[in-house]
Amino acid sequence: MTPLFYENIVPITFAQHGTMRLRTPLDYQFTRDANAVPLTLSEIPLAAPWYPIAFTHEARPRPVAILGLRDGENLFVDGKGRWREGAYVPTYVRRYPFALGQTGEFITLCIEDRPDVLSETIGKPLFDGDRPSALLESAMTFCRSAQAAERATAPFIARLTELDLLDGRTATVEVADGPKVSLSGFLTIDEARFRALSDEVFLDLRRSGWLAAIYAQIQATLNWSRLADRLSDRQAA
């Protein structure tokens, strides 16, 4: 399945991209239809002041920042492709248009190959002569760091699942001068179950360094009403 935001992601090769340039700076228009975006474990406390944080309802849940209350609507990006000033921008968004892929045993840097991303005349070159440019070297470092953060998230999710702390939720919020809006199909940490954990299990979570993320996710539920306020402001504009 094609990852979120990507439509034509391909490995970067000199044969195909030797003369190509990355259009810069890219804005955030590519996120305008996403009402949620993946997070990693280390990002949960960073994102919690801004977004409701939930977990996907699937076989292998993953944490996500909720960006909007309706399908196809990101309330943190304006009509000019600007992210809300001061708000934390998730790594998954910042790495675009790059990502890592695997060819056999080799990790390959890939890119979204589209005319609105790449140009032969405008932007920063992908290659310096026949070697990867500083842009590609930086992108590879960033993507490897993001991949490592994703791997560190997996044990955290597995432990939450093992402890049966994740539970399905529906968020229903009031929108000024409009009907109530409901968003369902996600999981969140059940605070009552968390507080009922034994001291031994709690200490194990603390030793693992996961308490900050747990408390941040629970605290982030306060942002549902703030998200409703953003929707009201956009409708009134």
Domain boundaries, the chain: 9-236
Rg (CA), the chain: 20
Beta-carbon contacts of 9 under 8 Å, excluding residues fewer than 6 positions away, are 2, 3, 99, 101, 110, 111, 112, 113
Choose among 79, 78, 50: nearest CA to 65: 50
Q: In angstroms, rounded to a whole number, what is the distance separating the alpha carbons of residues 196 and 184?
A: 25
Q: In angstroms, rounded to a whole number, what is the distance separating the alpha carbons of residues 48 and 53?
A: 7
Enclosing H/E stretch for 135: helix 134-162
CB 157 within 8 A of CB 55: yes
C-alpha dist (Å) from residue 171 to 85, 89, 209: 25, 23, 28
CB 101 within 8 A of CB 143: no
pLDDT in the model for residue 171? 83
pLDDT in the model for residue 113? 96
Q: In angstroms, rounded to a whole number, what is the distance separating the alpha carbons of residues 127 and 105?
A: 23
What's the predicted TM-score (pTM) here? 0.93
pLDDT in the model for residue 102? 84
Structure tokens at 237: 């504009």
CB 21 within 8 A of CB 120: yes
pLDDT in the model for residue 237? 64
Q: Is the N-terminal amide bond of 90 cis, ω within 30° of 0?
A: no
CB 234 within 8 A of CB 84: no
> What string of pLDDT tens digits covers the 237 residues of the chain?
679 999 999 999 999 999 999 998 899 999 999 999 999 999 999 999 999 999 998 888 999 999 999 889 999 999 999 999 999 999 999 999 999 998 778 899 999 999 999 999 999 999 999 999 999 999 999 999 999 999 999 999 999 999 999 999 888 887 777 778 888 889 999 999 999 999 999 999 999 999 999 999 999 999 998 998 888 888 776
